[in-house]
Structure 1
């Protein structure tokens, strides 16, 4: 108005949907801004306007003169893209001065909503523990007030949070760094134990943790946890000795599979099947012939184009070879006494054996349960070569896990990642032997048969 006061021209509101009520606080505040823009688009589009919010973090995330923070959630990035079409200036106001704050707190009856259908979210389990945590309880107050004392930028216990102060938010009295839950000290050892329950390595544990939760020096804690794991110490692999020559990466799932046997483990043999594209693992208990077991697997995933195995007698049988020929499947076997040629399957056999040994040492007496648990975690963990989980490449979506109840991660581009990973593996491989032969050259051949 001419006297400098503000007068409302119109009001707009709506009730949050069931899924929206589970958004983080910063996302609900951002949703309100997007709703207002769409409601009054005809008045705002093409005109310069001022946008006021009592969420200080949004003034940095949606600031038109700054880029979007790297770890912002996907929906926040989409909203920032929508806002880029408008000419606006965003600023922070205290809740006491925000004229919409009172109206947003009015109770609204919604009899149509069925609360029994709402799934619990693990993030609420952190609320009470966060209040009791000596450090996080203070950080919680800093974020609520929007004021950080000077000592928070200097003391070790607080400076990690102060450096991320513009990216912190609160959800039901639990602290979030963008889309990742900040875990209180009391719960960190439990989460580390849950992460390492299947004895996955450092890289997989870190990649899983970075998708769901965070605390200061989490990478160091994960490394120390694995270093102190007795089962991992007792089952460390021997270093490789030959030059690495990776197979070409197939363009689609189930195009080339690798087969091998593992065992006997507790008097049981297992057939290992590995998809070369997605790194998906299938482990079948051998109760019948190889052709019957593979036929059951092909009924689920379809017929592959190429099957690779060693020269085991089961794979050389007439029954198995006839089955492959009738279904138009190309069969490739490696040279005798050179298991490295089928390295994809051999590596998986080693992984399965090691995992089962570790789980058995952890008193998992039920081998089938231990195997199922390991396969679930392995298929839902990011693979070091592809950069994504086997389930995402196999089924184009990630298997739901307990950690998924916090927030899902994003999927990166795969093909170039695989090429870079294979080149890096080849350059860093500790092989020292390179042999070249020319036609007509005399060579020595080791004969394994008895004289």
Structure 2
């Protein structure tokens, strides 16, 4: 593929480096549709252009305006440039002896570009008055970025405010409040709000926010997402629908919400009917009108059946021995069940357990517990718990047991057996340690 042109009267006055560069620019514009988006190689017999138009080097600061403009035009291509001697460049040199003629469109674009650069330079030069050296300072003060940098340089750069736990908690609560307010303005205040154990939900501001609006806040047991099973099931259904859809993300989301709110549940009513009292219309309603549902009593029946099932599964009371699932570090290696006693019952699904005999208190779901046969030590609850009322739902007050007798330490074989070491050493106190007293 070959292309050539003759030089205009103005182009014949260019220097040799500009003539060689003009040939490259002419070829790029001529074959732009074949070169753009592909990697190619530029071969030239002018070694200076390999440095000036190198793709991995910047344009020289002292380069002519026309060369700088051409270098900027080359930056949109992905290319490599290499030097080849003239005696090895005979194919291109021979074709250059047979020019096709002038290229009017290319020459007009080049002339317009040169005129724009000259006009820009003259405009900037007219604004810079040599007799007024303060013009640069005046114009710089009008620019927002330059004036800001100048102020930071003289007054000092600003430092970011260190985030304290209090400020971070307030910011997180403000984000949560804005998100919940958007939902509440559409659907009203809920009676109950189930969340995880994030610090945002445990903050004093969120608790006060729920209290002012009469919202009961419930937190699920840690590492047990099935506590909020309805939300988890909703997320699972959405992911499955999103993977099956061929629409873009936003359109797939709207399609899923329409179908989900339109689909009847086991009760015979769709979520839109339960929430708004009417069925929303979709495309299928234009063909087959949706019939009226009359199975509202199924909902109460299914709810009662679910409560009966939960009551059969849950049978833990205060003081019942059990095994609690360990949820600490390295819990994923192998499940570990720790003996514990139930200390408090929350509703039908969550309880507080205390690790036997003197361990910490954990919050667990009933599915994170396993039954355990009681022992003689479990029957002596008074040694561990002390309550004033057997029917009280408060947490029992722990009473520490007696301190166990310490076993004598094994003698160190490195220490010589004489009077300078051991319990008879006068440098060590031989007083008997008094037992620590706890106040209830």
TM-score by structure 2 length?
0.32
Q: Per chain length, whose mean CA-contact separation is higher, i.e. which structure has more relative contact order (CA < 8 Å, sep 6+)?
A: 1
The structure with the larger Rg is 2
- In the superposition, the TM-score normalised over structure 1's length comes to 0.31
